[in-house]
Amino acid sequence: MAGENRPLDYRSLRHWGGFIVSGGSAFLVDAAINTGLIELVGLNPFVSRLISIGCAMVFAWLMHRNLTFAVAAPPRLSEFARFATVAGSANALNYAVYAAILLVWPPTPPLAALVVSTAIATGASYLGFRFGVFRRDR
């Protein structure tokens, strides 16, 4: 009803805020490593992205488990394996879109391709993390 004062749902706000902060931080790790490997080391953008994805994936797992989903149990290899499966699938989608953009539109800056590909893969990764990796019934 219009004008109704409902209390702020802090749990939901923390969850979505955690997802944005964790994902955004992982994106920055990915972008920084990718850009550094291209600009400072001279790797081509396809090889550099494979390395940056791996680094960002480990970072994202630790951030999501602690901040987004607030998992109290200690980290487990089985949890990381589930996370890696979901993240690997999302990152395969992310990489495919990134590569397609650079191949179809060669003048596109790699960072712009990274932004677009990451945006597309974000929805798929959230659903997998929420319902496949960090379910509350585990």
At 69-113, the pLDDT tens digits run 888 899 888 988 999 999 889 889 999 999 999 999 999 999 999
* CA–CA distance, 91 with 102 (Å, rounded to integer): 16
* 10-63 pLDDT, tens digit each: 778 888 889 899 989 998 999 999 999 999 999 999 999 899 988 998 899 999
Kindly state the DSSP code that residue 8 receives in the 8-state scheme. P
d(Cα 85, Cα 116) in Å, to the nearest integer?
Answer: 22
Residue whose token pair is 């902060």: 21
Instruction: Give residue 47's identity as a one-letter amino acid code.
Output: V
If phi over 0 gives left and psi between -120 and 50 gives alpha, with beta otherwise, what is residue 33? Answer: alpha
Nearest to 112 by CA among 51, 31, 36: 31
pTM over 0.85: no
pLDDT bracket for residue 125 (50, 70, 90): confident
Write down the pLDDT at residue 136: 67
